[in-house]
Amino acid sequence: MSEIQAVHVAISGRVQGVGYRAWLRDKATATGVKGWVRNRRTGEVEAVLIGPADRVDGLVSACWQGPDWARVETVETTSAKETDLPGFTVLATE
């Protein structure tokens, strides 16, 4: 198993109103990645992904595609402080 990695992801484009949060939650849950996702009032989707580095990297790559109706323009990542989260949660818009 690879080292645990935590990243903050900001996804922009047509990513709200297209099921992006639910899609990311389902992908993360299926791959065993923990964290959270939420819409931003700026129109972005924001997430923190925590898990084995190879799984997190794969999920970040998948963020470029998103669900069928999404049109992703950018996926920006920065390192995040790892936290002990029980699973993957969809948070309220901030």
The string of pLDDT tens digits covering residues 15-61 is 999 999 999 999 999 999 999 999 999 999 999 999 999 999 999 99
The string of pLDDT tens digits covering residues 7-26 is 999 999 999 999 999 999 99
pLDDT confidence of residue 86: 82
* Catalytic residue status for 39: yes
> Of the listed 14, 21, 25, 55, which one is catalytic?
21
For 14, the 3-state DSSP assignment is: strand
Count of CB atoms within 10 A of residue 61's CB? 10
* Catalytic residue status for 14: no
CATH hierarchy code of domain 4-82: 3.30.70.100
How far apart CA 75 and CA 72 sit, in angstroms, is: 8
> Of the listed 14, 25, 38, 39, which one is catalytic?
39
